[in-house]
Each structure stands twice: as structure tokens, then as C-alpha cells.
Amino acid sequence: MHTKSTTNIIVTLFLVSVIALIMKPVNSSNEQGNHNQSLSSSEQQQDQQTLGSSSKDKSLTLSLLADNLENRLNKSAAILEITSKLPEVKNTTYASSLNQTLRTLHGIGRDLDIQKRKVAQNILSADKDFGVIFFLMPNGNVYMEEPYSRQLNLTTTNLGFRDFYKGAISTHKTYLGNVVISASSHLPQANIAVPIYSDENNNNNNNSKSLVGIWAGGLNLRAFSKSLQSLNVTNNERIVYVDYHGQKIADSNKKQEINNKNDSFANLQSFKNALAGKSGAIIEAINGTKMLVSYHPVNAIQTRWVILDIQPL
């Protein structure tokens, strides 16, 4: 057993976590959006005053949240990338056992490839932003998943149809997928996937190497909601993290987080502005109520996420 490699994992993960969470300089750039042109001139003037007084305060808050979220994602991606290079992770010695266990155990048995399972367990202990770590074969079949109880609870044994798998395969790089319903927890989850290639040819061009598998982690979105809820926002204010397609990732409102897990913000102009890389604030109607919505983009690995701060007027 690679005792030295496994021991170094915990130290490495700790250092990566500390370094990646250092906050970056705040970008104070801000954009004032347009709002409903049909408002009366007095309402327009009042709304402009509201935008002017609120946007500066929100801009700093959202910029800090965006930096923090970006750092958290980069930290988790770095952990997967570092551990993907370990021999015990790249090894798939027990792949042949899938012929007997894939349908029943949804992967290899609990007592097989203990070294890889130990690496996965160490990651889960070191980074609470992950809820599950798993390894996929090149064809998308599940090789293993930790915690093992999640592997047994899988409703499908091939994840080759998922966007994170396709993205990692097509780009040959670390890939962050959109929010999907997990096949093992049956809850919303976003996955970070790292493609692993053979060491043959001794060059850095992954296009010329054979795919060994996909080393991936499912983000625990509840952890991101807890971070927002710790802000204790008041006056019916609500802050949400949203993925590239407008699907909610995390919510500062605990009741909304639980009752409206499939919230979509794709139709909001504020979301569209942030998706275009802009930050600012606009007034728009949400479910018939006029809201002040501040927005900020997040560089989420290869994609873009959005932060929205929503407050009734």
C-alpha cells in the first residue's frame, strides 16, 4: 500500500485549501441597468435614487461573494487534479470485476481498490464542499463511489450522458457541470470532473494519450447554502447562486432552499446581464412584485455562474 502517497494527500489537500481561499482584490466596476420604461417619471426618478443608493453597497458585497465562490471552486478542482495524478487513483486493476458487480453493486465491491477509496475518503474529510467522490471508466460506467452507501443507492450505473463527463472528454481538461439531480442522492448536485490519461508517449498532449477514466467530485450544494444563510440577510432580502442555465445552486433563504429546489432565474434580465459578464443593479418584476436585483458574474472554472441579490422595493 502506498503509505507515503496517502499520508501526503492530507497535507497537500490542507495546503491547497488554505492557498485557494485567499481572497483576491475586489473589482469595483459596476453597471447600472435599465428598468421598465413604462414607469411614470416620478417613479423613474424614485427608482433611480433607489438604484443609486443601493448599488454601491451591493457591489462590494457581491464582488466579495463572487471571489469567495470562485476560490472555493478552484480549490476543489485543484484537489481533484492533484489527487488524479496519484498511482492509486489512476490504477483500475479491478475493472474486470465490474462484469459481475456493476448491476448489483453499481461498481466494484466495498473491499476492492481500498487505496482509491481511501483517497476519496481523505478528500471528503478535507473538503466539505464535496459530498461524493467517484471514478468512471472511459465508457462512463461507474467504477467506484464514496461514500459506499451512495454507490449502492445509484439508480444508473453509467454516467456517460452527463454534461460533466462529455465536457471533460471533449476538452481534455477539468470541467464543471451544470446542476443536475444526483443519481445517488436524488438531490441537486454539480460535478467537477478531471479526465485521467495514460502516461504513454511521455508528452503533455492528452490528445495522443489513451483515456484511463474520469476522477470526479459532486459538490454538496447544501454547504454553499449554509454559507449564504450565515450572512443573516434581513428585510426579505435573498441572495442566490445560479448556474450557467439559470438553475439555482444555493439560497440564503432556508425556506426557499427547501421548498423550491428547482428554482430557475433564466428569464431575469439581471441574470442575462451577469451571464454576459456585467455587474450592476436593475429593477424588475419577479412573480408580479417589483424587486431591486443586484447581480455579479462568477468565473466558475471553464463556465460562468451568477450571484443575484433580490430585495423587494
- Is 211 a residue whose pLDDT tops 70? yes
Length of the chain: 313
Mean pLDDT, rounded, for 19-46: 46
- Is 25 a residue whose pLDDT tops 80? no
The secondary structure of residue 200, as a DSSP letter, is G
Which residue has better confidence, 135 or 261? 135
What pLDDT does residue 44 have?
59
What pLDDT does residue 115 have?
98
- Cα separation, 258 vs 180, in Å, equals 16
Ramachandran quadrant class, 142 (left: phi over 0; alpha: psi -120 to 50; beta: rest): beta
Cβ pair 308, 265 in contact under 8 A: yes
Give pLDDT tens digits for 99-137. 999 999 999 999 999 999 999 999 999 999 999 999 999
pLDDT band at 33, cuts 50/70/90? very low
Alpha-carbon 160 to chain mean position: 19
Model-level pTM?
A: 0.84
Q: Which residues, 6+ apart, have CB-to-CB distance to 272 below 8 Å?
A: none
- CA dist list (Å): 76 to 79, 114, 154, 187, 242: 5, 22, 23, 20, 18
User: What is the grid cell recorded at 313?
Assistant: 422595493
CATH number of 84-219: 3.30.450.20
The secondary structure of residue 179, as a DSSP letter, is P
The secondary structure of residue 178, as a DSSP letter, is P
Give pLDDT tens digits for 3-20. 555 545 544 554 555 445
What pLDDT does residue 2 have?
52
What pLDDT does residue 51 have?
59
What pLDDT does residue 257 have?
84
- E strand intervals along the chain: 31-32, 130-136, 142-146, 175-176, 180-181, 188-189, 191-197, 211-219, 238-242, 248-251, 280-286, 289-300, 303-312
What pLDDT does residue 42 have?
56
What pLDDT does residue 222 have?
96
pLDDT band at 82, cuts 50/70/90? very high
In the chain, which segments carry CATH 3.30.450.20? 37-74+234-312, 84-219
What pLDDT does residue 52 have?
58
User: What is the grid cell recorded at 304?
Assistant: 460562468
pLDDT band at 59, cuts 50/70/90? confident
- Is 23 a residue whose pLDDT tops 60? no
Compute the C-alpha angle 279/283/288, nearest 5°.
Answer: 135
- 51, 56, 58, 63 alpha-carbon torsion, rounded to 10°: 140
Which percentage of the chain shows pLDDT scores above 90? 72
CATH class label, 37-74+234-312 = alpha beta
- Is 310 a residue whose pLDDT tops 60? yes
Compute the C-alpha angle 242/247/250, nearest 5°.
Answer: 50
Return mean pLDDT, the chain: 86
- Is 191 a residue whose pLDDT tops 70? yes
What pLDDT does residue 31 have?
42
